[in-house]
Structure 1
């Protein structure tokens, strides 16, 4: 499947936004190969047939489709009479190398820490889907189309920002469906378990016993779904708790280390730096304290 992705720190760069219709059903999707342009198509009413790289897609009213750059696409059937649609043509900064090097953005609940590595990931947009609220979506697309035609001096930047928000909304709608899978439910339970732990990391036996499942399976599933190991995830949650304690309470590093179950302050400091990139002392010198 030719899925479209965006780097987390890069906006979709708009080339064209438009609104089209075919009252008589005399046209079909154009035969083209757009080397650097991704395409988003939303059908307001009617039907559109597109073949991308040999795979046929049919889009009806209230549905959308992303077409990936550098993959030929065409249509063999005419639009149904009265078909109306919006489209967005956009560049991205992804190439095959950057896509391979960056992990997929993890949509699972994280700690409150926003780490730099979060932005070195890519967001995989849903290939095709139904719109849950067509009226709202069509208002958004109408506004984007109007803004595309406006003479605003910051038009390209504004359009890119608004389109990114629009795409993220589509992504969030798809997450509601993804969370219904068995694997997502298991990982969700694991994250709830780790988050509710008062202090110290849970052992492999404790995790296995609590969920009634083999730890090796849970470990493999967790890494596959979140992109992180169980140890890494629990470390981040503990460091989040450590930062809150150090910022709001009159405690030192040794006391925090002990309270969170670390074997000694030196090991705590090593984990702290691994998670945040800096030592506890440096982190606190760069932030506000109550």
Structure 2
């Protein structure tokens, strides 16, 4: 009987007597990518960190699809996965597709709202009045986005918190890929939501810090910067603290905040769109295998 190229000694701890001692190179690479992404699970959900993780997921799914194209992988999955396992994998991939679609839509809306605010700020040209309504509209749109995100997270979370690693090795690996993907989505959604503004004093504390530390906030290391939170803080300040002249947010200050936000959204958006295509491709590959 021909030896399978898969290996039970990977991190998935699947039990199978048919697996040899030496793993296929693709399995080793996938395992390494999974370990790398897991090590970043507790990292800050900043734009640079998310961009790196989305890039890591892209590379991971490309390797997974290459593995799924191997005849021995297809034979192993078709013969050893039962209906329950197949349904779990398909349901998981569908949840991830839905979550990725929500992320794409929310990022697109956020980018459009940000561009509109920048256009308004440019037209004002030093006029500090009449911006409150636009700020309220932006924050109202943000509130809708957060509701969509919370709903998507709730729908996606069930099924990824606990995995059963007693199935066929490739199945266990694919389920682990889905779980790691979900953790990246959690970080992505956390980044988009930003930090909830707790009070007027909290708003102005952050705004004051932004205005007095532009070098760090706008040009420095952004690993701990959440551009969505910065924009929300500035607009909350515009709405709730118009009379506080000493800490007034100028057009130039606001422009810098929203330019930075738009740039960050574009970086993350590219990764999300690419990942969405790969999620679809992987699901189609698996459907083709089990339908043979």
Shared fold, TM over 0.5: no
TM-score normalised by L of structure 2: 0.29
More strand by share: 1
TM-score norm. by structure 1 comes to 0.29
Return the index of the structure with the highest Cα Rg.
1
